Amino acid sequence: MITKRIIPCLDVRDGRVVKGVNFEGLRDVNSPVALAEYYSSCGADELVFYDITASAEGRRLFTDILRETAKRVFIPLTVGGGINTTDDFDRVLKCGADKVSVNSGAIRNPNLIAEAARLYGSQCVVLSADIKRVDGVFRVFARGGRDNTGLEAIDWIRRAVDNGAGEIVVNSIDTDGVKKGFDLEMLQAVCAAVSVPVIASGGAGCIEDFITLFNAVPGVDAGLAASIFHFGEVKIADLKNEMARCGIPARR
């Protein structure tokens, strides 16, 4: 049976993981390569590298570390951040990324998803959407959640899938950082609208939040989180064990 995926997300600036992490036995806690190897060895099903670099020099460092990671980590690697053109797809795919996640770039350039899907295949194009309730309506936000685009989220996601997006990351701004659980209502709405895999992001605070997620919204394929993994609040091996105990298919 296909398993539910657990995906740690690493924010990378100038080739280093920001905010650092807190693991025993890991010598360089800011090295994306070391962290990726660590996560891969403890059972992460996939990794997301999010490039939050602003400069060209930082971007070069990012592709260097991506190449170094892809040489040593043999699980699927998704790259996001600063993806605005198909040249950006090309740049990260050549360095070993398997999938590329687009967010603001797809809002600025409505043809980006279709062009990328045609060139690299839908399996490689991930739409990441930052969504927040505004007057009871799910709205898409751009620029890291700062700007309300006015786009209605479900419609936006449906159109992206029609254009060739092969996976959707739903990041709820409303639950992000709160650590009180995933946004089940929002995820339910997205899963009802599209038939491609949906990855839940934003709100995980403990193992139980993942169990609730997979039980309450069976259409969700994966759970993504950052700090709770980085700070060791949730250990992936423990999470997988608990999933299996609760009858949720997990790779161990």
Give the nearer residue to other proteins in terms of CB position, either 136 or 195: 195
Query: Do 7 and 210 contact (CB within 8 A), yes or no?
Result: no
Query: Do 97 and 79 contact (CB within 8 A), yes or no?
Result: yes
Residue whose entry in the numeric block shows the structure tokens 């709160």 = 178
Binding span for other proteins by CB under 8 A among 22-30, 56-64, 73-81, 149-157: 73-81
The yes or no reply on residue 241 touching other proteins (CB under 8 A) is no
Residue 194, both tokens: 């599209």
Residues with Cβ within 8 Å of 45's Cβ and at least 6 positions away in sequence, in order, are: 3, 5, 6, 7, 75, 76, 222, 251
The yes or no reply on residue 25 touching other proteins (CB under 8 A) is no
Query: Do 72 and 47 contact (CB within 8 A), yes or no?
Result: no
Give the nearer residue to other proteins in terms of CB position, either 100 or 142: 100
Residue 52, both tokens: 């939050």
Provide, rounded to whole angstroms, the least separation between the CB of residue 222 and other proteins: 8
Give the nearer residue to other proteins in terms of CB position, either 21 or 168: 168
Q: How many residues bind other proteins (CB under 8 A)?
A: 31
Query: Do 184 and 209 contact (CB within 8 A), yes or no?
Result: no
By CB under 8 A, name the one of 190, 222, 239, 243 that touches other proteins.
Answer: 222
Q: What residues numbered 167-196 form the site for other proteins, per CB under 8 A?
A: 167, 195-196
> For the chain, first and last CA: distance in Å?
13
Residue 85, both tokens: 């053109």
User: 130 an active-site residue?
Assistant: yes
Provide, rounded to whole angstroms, the least separation between the CB of residue 209 and other proteins: 20
Residue whose entry in the numeric block shows the structure tokens 């997990």 = 250
Helix 207-216 vs helix 236-245: angle between axes, to the nearest 10 degrees?
40
The yes or no reply on residue 83 touching other proteins (CB under 8 A) is no
Provide, rounded to whole angstroms, the least separation between the CB of residue 79 and other proteins: 12
Provide, rounded to whole angstroms, the least separation between the CB of residue 120 and other proteins: 8
> What are the start-end ranges of the E strands in 60-160?
77-80, 99-102, 125-134, 137-142, 147-152
The yes or no reply on residue 45 touching other proteins (CB under 8 A) is yes
User: 98 an active-site residue?
Assistant: no
Residue 212, both tokens: 């609730």
* Given 45, 51, 88, 130, the catalytic residue: 130
By CB under 8 A, name the one of 123, 143, 231, 238 that touches other proteins.
Answer: 123
Residues with Cβ within 8 Å of 88's Cβ and at least 6 positions away in sequence, in order, are: 82, 100, 105
By CB under 8 A, name the one of 10, 17, 21, 70 that touches other proteins.
Answer: 70
The yes or no reply on residue 71 touching other proteins (CB under 8 A) is yes
The yes or no reply on residue 76 touching other proteins (CB under 8 A) is yes
Q: Which residues carry out catalysis? A: 11, 130
Applying CB under 8 A, the residues found at the interface with other proteins are 1-3, 5, 40, 45, 67, 70-72, 74-76, 93-96, 98, 120-124, 166-167, 195-197, 221-222, 251
